[in-house]
Amino acid sequence: MKKSIVIAGTHSGVGKTTVSMGIMAALTRRGMNVQPYKVGPDYIDPTHHTAICGRSSRNLDTFMMGEEGVRQSFHCSYNDADIGVVEGVMGLFDGMNSSDLASSAHVAKSLGAPVILVVNVHGMSRSAAALIKGYSEFDSDVRIDGVVLNRVGSPRHAQMIRDALGDVPVVGALPRNQDLTVPSRHLGLHMADERDYDLEKLGNFIEENIDLDGVLSLANEPLPAAPEECIPDKEADVTIGVAMDSAFCFYYQDMLDSFRRCGAEIKFFSPLEGDIPDVDGMYFGGGYPELHIAELEKSRTTHKLKDLSADGMPIYGECGGLQYLCTSYEIEDRLYKLADLFPAETVMTKKLQALGYTKGHADSPIFRGEVRGHEFHYSVTDCASDSRLAYTMERGKGIVDGMDGIYEHNSVASYMHAHPGSFPVDDFVNSCRKYKQR
């Protein structure tokens, strides 16, 4: 029987990431196979989940995937797991605009999964019970079956809240612990390979302060997915190079799996190392090119891409990939020459330029159709007057004037991070296949 639990918070910064990662670590240490998930379009938290559990974390997002897509991804990735642990996003009920769309609550309802609510009780006692009561009654379709009290001042403080809560089960009370925070930068937490917290200490902290058996007893079987078999990988007849290093590291596991299901072999390569892979197409995801910009300017990969693009190789980039594939990137008044696939210049800014979900219609040389995703960047891209843009945006900022997806030859790049729930993966893989067969 498949088991699932959602770890959600009353608001951002309440400690749900620490609690989620700690529960994953403690259960894994017990010898359990824990399948991790993250609500929303987050690339960074899943890297920590994956490192902790030894299984690829999956994103669950009802805007980008729909309710059925969420269930399908959950069931097809669960396999031999003992439990699925889903880390929420923001506050439990925070969704798009004033709705619950894409919220942790919406994902919990889509799965039929119980919620453990993380509450920062610093500075309050009995009032915490009122807060939890409000969350419990706000949406009768969301089951808050347990509570974790975070930043508890003392055992007496925790007991006062337990007494006020009555029948609501408190499965954990965590004392304040500044040693277990994960460092962050402008786009979020540090990646898992930069981890400077003690995973063993985190597991011990959770084991000592959370009733793990109580957590396991709350987990239940999720709602079934549509009666479709999980699609197996096709026999690979085309190879796609995926840039993967410290500069390009934002990828959905479901996107890579979708490439394989369409008959593509994935070959990872590092632009920082100057790799030139023997492939039929390339994918440059987001990441932190700005942190490695001097190395990228000198990279052999950077100097070779323009010729490959002119030859017709399908090349697809997102956000950091867009910045890298432009003519130049200006950071702190210094101009760096980059791949020059597109007649556009990017400038790093100190101010956030765009954040949120996106939806557009793509009409490009290598794929077409509606694409949903999200954007999050601190840069602006100035295109030449004759630049061609492929995405007409219904939602989101894009590059300029409600348009995104600059293209040249068979190369396309956008600020939008796309999700395979809508992205025309078949079209892109077929474009790579046609390039190979020329």
Task: Please tell me the distance from the alpha carbon of residue 437 to that of residue 427, in angstroms, as a whole number.
Answer: 15
> Quick one: tokens of 226?
């549509």
Strands 334-337 and 326-331: antiparallel
Q: Which two tokens stand for residue 19?
A: 């609690």
List, in order, residues 6 or more apart from 363 with CB less than 8 Å away: 390, 392
C-beta separation of 237 from 433 below 8 A: yes
State the Cα–Cα distance between residues 89 and 100, nearest whole angstrom.
12
Extract the tokens encoding 141: 């379709």
The pair of structure tokens assigned to 269 is 């390569």
* 140: Cβ contacts below 8 Å, ≥ 6 apart: none
| Nearest Cα to Cα of residue 317 among 234, 414, 221 | 414
> How far is it between the farthest Cα atoms of the chain?
74
Q: Which of 319, 326, 383, 432 is catalytic?
A: 319
Would you say 120 and 157 are in contact if contact means Cβ atoms under 8 Å apart? no
Residue (of 218, 204, 275, 217) closest to 243 by Cα position: 275
The encoded tokens of residue 357 equal 């979900």
**Residue 133 corresponds to which amino acid?**
K
Which tokens sit at 45? 């938290």
Q: How far apart are CA 181 and CA 21, in angstroms?
A: 11
- For residue 268, the surrounding DSSP H or E stretch is strand 264-269
Report the distance separating Cα 341 and Cα 328, nearest Å.
10
**Single-letter code of the amino acid located at 354:** A
* Dist. CA 415–CA 417, nearest whole Å: 6
Q: Is 319 a catalytic residue?
A: yes
- Return the active site residues: 319
